[in-house]
Structure 1
């Protein structure tokens, strides 16, 4: 009787061995050594070759965007490179090579520069679209580990990112090669931002939600209390009026101003404690009697971080805010700065 052939059991995941701590540490050190050597080799190669400078010039002169492409692990690297370029003054985007041949190539237009990343330089997805890129007359920069590959032969500039060996013990998983690609992308971004005169303020504008953005973009006027929320009385206000204004607005002080809004002085809850300790007859006092002149102030168009520095330097928790004519327009408290994550 003829029996059907036996179907072999599917191969499962490798059996996990007990962790050899010393071997794990040795492999970690070996990985760092291999990838460090790869980067040092890359450094020497870049210094001998003019290709890097030509690539930077192409991207600097680009009137469109730097379109970054990559498959697999190179694609993950490419997404990061595109994001780094875009955040440092070079308009860039990532287009997946496989999707490019199914319509996304329409994202690439005359005036763009393509940065194609492939360690082998022989990805089928790239080979399909290379002739189309040529017809578009789009400059092509190849970041590849094989200078004689199909991708390299089609490129206007070839950046050699080859490594001697991967950090993977099997010499298979992209490790040192992707580190080299990532470092090459960072080097391009740094060279470009320097050539563009890109400054910290420019970086902040593309990172408004980050700590640097908050430091360099948020103004005092964005955070200050204004209008009726600002505690303020005239110099002839009696002590009860002064106290009600200070406690009602909840900032621990009140400003004393003239009729035009010019600041005459300030009275704080610390001043109140000192008066009570001295046994002063509070009901007979006016705002002019208890205020101290020349309080700390900032301008409404100052950076919020500058106000925070002033408050820290003088160990105060609030400052008055004035306009260009030195008239009171607001108040800023340390809690306002903390809520905005300026401090």
Structure 2
């Protein structure tokens, strides 16, 4: 037996068993999430009311695996219009409790509802007058009873074959946190523009924030020839500007057509020499136009849907002000 065919305990690896265990885990967790929906009701609505009415921030608490889930829930809330942050319950009793103010709402996560570090700080939270929402797996637990609102995240069983490792229970808690975030997002009227302001970095931010005007080629870099130009002059312009195309414009600076590298291949199939060919005879009349204020992501979608590689950008007076292609959008991180 090859060493790679055995585990460190010399137990042979059975692919069929591994796949079945994985499928069982996914089915168990999917069932846990599906069973949450019928249990949603007035407690969920009450929790949303508390969170919408919060004048401070949502403080998420959780120990162990619930703490990791709590960190993600806090991040999702914060990025969708509900200011939130995570506080480790163990650190809260050693000074971090000062991060919680009377204007806040606490969202405490505990599958058992008996997490000692959370129960220890409950009296201090109550003394501040802070409203408390709990997500637990036991509606009869201490945390569930002490909370203003308890959301039921109980599961029939964990995905772990031993029934010990938090798996389905943490997935259910995470899903409930996402449900809260989505409900609050809608209630607050949180828009795509609001979301983009919370995500200025990375590809997501670029897709939401960049407009055509931000990424288009313009000025001296914009390839354009008059409609009286020859095909040879158009090819020189394409070569100089490096965009794989050139716009064809009239005397008023309005685009009347476009000529691309693809058009050149088709022309060469029909003529023996390009020297005497007028660009007006071989250009694609019109060309697909777009305005500078359109989102760059929308420009990418237009090109993909129409199966074209370039767009002409025109202003309100239909004058050519720019151009872009897929490489332009790729360089800008839009696609």
> Match of 2:275?
282
Q: Decide whether the 8 Å contact of 2:60 with 2:108 is kept in 1.
A: yes
> Match of 1:81?
73
1:164 CA drift (Å):
4.4
Q: Are 1:175 and 2:203 an aligned pair?
A: no
- After TM superposition, the structure 1 = structure 2 runs for residues 54-65 of structure 1, keeping only pairs within 5 Å, are 54-65=46-57
Q: RMSD of the TM alignment (CA)?
A: 3.3
1:223 CA drift (Å):
1.5
Q: Which moved more, 1:240-249 or 1:22-31?
A: 22-31
The alignment partner of 1:278 has SS state of coil
1:271-302 CA distance string (max 9 Å, x none): 5562794356836x766676564233211112
CA distance in 2, matches of 1:44, 1:109: 34
Q: Compared with structure 1, are the counterparts of its residues 28 and 235 closer, same or farther at alpha carbon in structure 2 (3 Å cutoff)?
A: closer
Q: 2:180 aligns with which of 188, 191, 203?
A: 188
Q: 2:40 aligns with which of 41, 46, 67?
A: 46
CA distance in 2, matches of 1:34, 1:243: 62
CA distance in 2, matches of 1:238, 1:38: 69
1:17 CA drift (Å):
4.0
> Match of 1:296?
288
1:195 CA drift (Å):
2.4
CA distance in 1, matches of 2:99, 2:175: 26
Query: TM-score, length-normalised on structure 2?
Result: 0.81
> Match of 1:147?
139
Q: Compared with structure 1, are the counterparts of its residues 263 and 32 closer, same or farther at alpha carbon in structure 2 (3 Å cutoff)?
A: closer
Q: 2:209 aligns with which of 191, 200, 217?
A: 217
CA distance in 2, matches of 1:160, 1:123: 16
Q: Compared with structure 1, are the counterparts of its residues 243 and 102 closer, same or farther at alpha carbon in structure 2 (3 Å cutoff)?
A: same
Unaligned runs of 5+ in 1: 1-13
> Match of 1:123?
115
Q: 1:250 aligns with which of 242, 246, 262?
A: 242
Say how many residue pairs are matched: 327
Unaligned runs of 5+ in 2: 1-7
1:304-332 CA distance string (max 9 Å, x none): 23333443455432222112222221111
> Match of 2:254?
262
The alignment partner of 1:152 has SS state of helix
1:126-145 CA distance string (max 9 Å, x none): 23322221222211111123
Larger radius of gyration: 1
